[in-house]
Amino acid sequence: MGANLLGGTALNNLFTKPIVAVAAIFYSISGLSQEMPSNALPQNYTPSLTLHNTPNISGVWQSFTTANWNILSHPVQAGPFAEQAGGWGAGRAGFGIVKGNELPYQEWAAAEQKKNYENRAVVTAANDPSRFDTGDPELLCFRAGIPRANYMPYPFQIFQTPEQILIVYEYKGAYRTIYMDEDRPALDESWMGTSNGHWEGNTLVVDVKGFNEHTWLDREGNFASDELHVVERWTPLSPYHMKYEATIEDPNVFTRPWTMSFILYKNVEENSEIKEFNCVPLVEPMFYKPLGFYDEDISSNP
């Protein structure tokens, strides 16, 4: 195999020994500095095609960023409920995925993000919209929205037909349909938005709008409003890698559009498939125990 990256038969070939070896040789004979890209993927990759002749991006994908904790660069942190969850609940340090590592918040919105952070583990169990005032939607098992669903620490599976591309996210089993045949308007607001897509060369470009006003971008409380407009670009880089880029616009929250970018990795295990992650029963105690409705006999305790 050596440095034949195009062969790409095993995921680890792309990252470990061959590249290190090649880099070491280059470094030693040419005196090149650290500018040498140490993990560059082959350029001008031509993806395989589906039966309907579009780039084939089907399969189970996942990001390996820590952006779900914070889309900006961040240190190690203890998680909420650290007194119970300890190391299990803690977050790793990681690079951000935002270009320039800065979010152009309007003044009020910067303050709102801080408030979100402070209340990120506060549950409002109410039978009215005040339940959306506090708590990270992920904590509460609400849909994650776009772009967040793409960098949560859960895989998702892509299915392609000529008319639609379906993405099913393991987190909550939430799905989104990307309409490829003709653009559809966002008839109603939703958590996952309304997606219309088209191919530009090997890049799938998806326009997403029609969001509700409850979108969070991470556990840090970064957020958007119902004016959120996301333009995603999905570009396969190898059979097992895909670049994800998104331009985020929200005139209610930000002073200008901004972009994010990270790599998605394809799961190539023999039994690769997403599983059911139905978190609703897992959060019921959190919602209903404080109201006296969980594991308590209602009739004997009226």
Partner 1 sequence: MPKKILGFSTHSQTHEVIVSAFILFLMTDAVGQDSPPPSALINQQSEQTLEAARAASPHTSQSTYAYFEDEAKAFIENAIQYTWDPTAPRLTSKKTAWGDPDLGGYWLNIAYVPLERPEEYASNPLHTQEEAVTAFIQWTTRDAAVDPATVHYDWTEFGMDNWQSPIRPNRRTSLITSPTNGRVPALTPEGLARREAQSRRHTLESRGLYERCIQGNQGPPSVPFVQNTGQAQIIQTPDHVILITQANSDVRIFPLNGSNHAPETIRSYLGDSRGHWENDTLVVDTTNFHESRKWNGSSSGLQLEERFTRVDEKILLYEATLTDPSTWETPWSIEIPWPMMDAPRWLFEFACHEQNYGIINVLRGARARAAEYQTTQKVE
Which C-beta is closer to partner 1: that of 162 or that of 257? 162
Helix, strand, coil share of the chain (percent; to 5): 20, 25, 55
The distance from CA 220 to its chain's CA centroid, rounded to whole angstroms, is 14
- Of the candidate residues 12, 30, 44, 300, the single one contacting partner 1 (CB under 8 A): 300
The yes or no reply on residue 166 touching partner 1 (CB under 8 A) is: yes
Q: Which stretch, 76-84, 127-135, 231-239, 250-258, contacts partner 1 (CB under 8 A)? A: 127-135
Question: What's the closest the beta carbon of residue 135 comes to partner 1, in angstroms?
Answer: 12
Binding flags for partner 1, 81-120, as an x/- string (CB under 8 A): ----------------------------------------
> Which of 2, 9, 49, 52 contacts partner 1 by CB under 8 A?
52
CB atoms closer than 10 angstroms to residue 192: 22
Q: Which stretch binds partner 1 (CB under 8 A): 2-10, 31-39, 247-255, 277-285?
A: 277-285
Minimum distance of partner 1 from residue 101's CB (angstroms)? 31
Residue 291 lies near partner 1 (rule: CB under 8 A): yes
Nearer CB in complex with partner 1: 21/49: 49
3-state secondary structure of 203: strand
Does position 133 bind partner 1 by CB under 8 A? no
Of 219, 220, 221, 215, the residue nearest 250 (C-alpha): 215
Q: How far apart are the first and last CA of the chain?
A: 72
What is the closest distance, in whole angstroms, from the C-beta atom of residue 185 to partner 1 in the complex? 11
Does 53 bind partner 1 (CB under 8 A)? Our answer is no
What lies within 8 Å, CB to CB, of 286 at 6+ separation is: 123, 125, 139, 140
Q: Contact with partner 1 (CB under 8 A): which of 107, 182, 269, 295? A: 295
Task: Spell 225-242 as b/e; 16+ CB within 10 A means b.
Answer: beebbbbbbbbbbbbbbb
Rounded to whole angstroms, how far apart are CA atoms 48 and 55? 6
Name the nearest CA neighbour of 287 among 148, 139, 181: 139
CB nearer to partner 1: give 27 or 288: 288
161 binds partner 1 (CB under 8 A): yes
Q: Which residue in 13, 119, 177, 267 binds partner 1 (CB under 8 A)? A: 177
Strands 194-200 and 175-179 come out as parallel
Q: Where does the chain have alpha helices with state H?
A: 17-30, 82-89, 107-118, 280-288
Smallest distance, partner 1 to C-beta of residue 273, A:
6
Strand partners, 216: 223
Please say whether the beta carbons of 241 and 40 come within 8 A.
no
Contacts to partner 1 by CB under 8 A:
51-52, 58, 125-128, 131, 137, 141-143, 157, 159-161, 164, 166, 168, 173-175, 177, 184, 187-188, 190-192, 214, 271, 273-276, 278, 280-281, 284, 288, 291, 293-302
